[in-house]
Structures are given as structure tokens and as C-alpha cells.
Amino acid sequence: MNVLILHAHPEPQSFTSALRDEAVQTLQAQGHEVQVSDLYAMNWNPVASAKDFSQRDNPDYLVYALEQRLGVKGKSIAPDIQQELDKLLWADLLILNFPIYWFSMPAILKGWVDRVLVSGVCYGGKRFYDQGGLTGKKALVTVTLGGREHMFGEGAIHGPLEDMLRPLLRGTLAYVGLDVLPPFVAWHVPYISHEAREQFLADYRQRLTHLEQDSSLVFPRLAQFDEALYPIR
């Protein structure tokens, strides 16, 4: 299996970085090929702009998704985007490894999504959910956060973590056709003991060793809807 790890944390000694290293070691030990895109170390540019295209179909008005589609075909898309897109298309499993910032992912990772999940390749028209451009591949979201586990869930102060991650799990990963595995969560990380962090690493190692046993999260299938995308009753 080919695995691409998207790592988004500014501190190399962070626990998020330790989870990245654990994933690399565990997956390689199983014989998988692993690539890591360390976005901060790469100084990844998160800003989608006209500069992402060496040539434009419409130089007077930027429709980013359309220029993406044409840019890939015409090989006029920025080299850093093409490099990451090549990694994504190579991968059978995409792991997103990051700390929760403000109920979301870090801006640098959102910028990777904006620039690399290109129209015409990853999605477009009715190519979404089970018909998306990345069908057949899997995704695993691995997150760290400062909150305690009891703060998340039905009736909890912050609500379910899955609701917080919905724009990523459903609106991004599932939308482009990926089979989305249940997230791995390391809770309350800045405040726990060394032994508790080691237990999280052991739990992650166990999870990565048995990924084939994971059931994907359930999202809509286009067969459940008519041509106008009304639900079929």
C-alpha cells in the first residue's frame, strides 16, 4: 500500500510530530511505502491565487476551479501543486495529521486542500461522494487537541467531535470519493503525563496495524438521488 501523510504542525518536537513518526515507522514495518508532506517544513504556500497558473484560459477574470481543470490538462499549474497532486494520486491511503485549531484544521492544511484537490481530477460535475475522482482510496484523520474527551459528544459542551470535523470528513474527503475511516484522536495532549502520551502512541500503533478491520464512515451515494439530486423516496 502507498501512504501519503500530510503533517501540519509548526513544532518538530510536538506530540503531533510524534504521531507522524509513529505512523511512518509502523506502516513501513508492515511493508508499506510512505511519503510525508511536512507542510511547515516545506514552507507550503496555502494561498490559492492566479499565481498558481503559468497560463490562464481567462486572464481577465479568475474562476479558480476552471483554471485548475485546464491547468492540469495544459500543464500550466504551479509545480508545487503538481508535485502534491502526484503524491495524492500515487497514494492508496491519505493520513491527515494535525492539531485542532478553532474547531478546524490549521490554515496551512486548509490551503493544501484548496490548491491540491483540483477540479477535473478530484471532483467536478457529478463526480462526488462515491463517484468522486479519488474513489478506491482511503483517508484517516489523526488529530490532537487540548480538550478532554468528556467535553465532546451528544450533550457535551462542545458537541460531537464528528460535527466539528464535518467540513473535512464529509465536505472534503468523502466529497472527493475517499473512503473515510473513523478519526484517531489524542485528547488533552498538552496537559497529560508522559505515560499517557506513550499510551496514545501505543493505541495509534495498534490502530495502524489493523486498518483493514476499520469500517468506513457512511456518507451519501449518488444512487440514492435522482438526476436533479432530489432524494429517491
> For position 135, what pLDDT does the model report?
97
List the chain domain ranges. Answer: 2-224
Contact 209, 30 (CB under 8 A): yes
What CATH fold (topology level) applies to the domain 2-224? Answer: Rossmann fold (3.40.50)
CA atoms within 13 A on the CB side of 177: 20
Average pLDDT over residues 139-164: 94
What percent of the chain lies above the pLDDT cut of 70? Answer: 100
Show the cell assigned to 188. 488533552
Count CB neighbours of 176 within 10 A. 25
> For position 192, what pLDDT does the model report?
94
The full DSSP string for 44-94 is: ------GGGBSS-S-TTS--HHHHHHHHHHHT-B-HHHHHHHHHHHH-SEE
Q: What is the mean pLDDT of the chain?
A: 96
> For position 233, what pLDDT does the model report?
84
Residue 91, pLDDT above cutoff 90: yes
Detail the DSSP E strand segments found in 106-190: 138-144, 179-180, 184-186
Query: pLDDT tens, 28-47?
Result: 999 999 999 999 999 999 99
Contact 139, 178 (CB under 8 A): yes
Average pLDDT over residues 109-136: 96
Average pLDDT over residues 200-221: 95
Highest mean pLDDT among 90-94, 123-127, 155-159, 190-194: 90-94
Residue 207, pLDDT above cutoff 90: yes
Of 125 and 9, more confident? 9
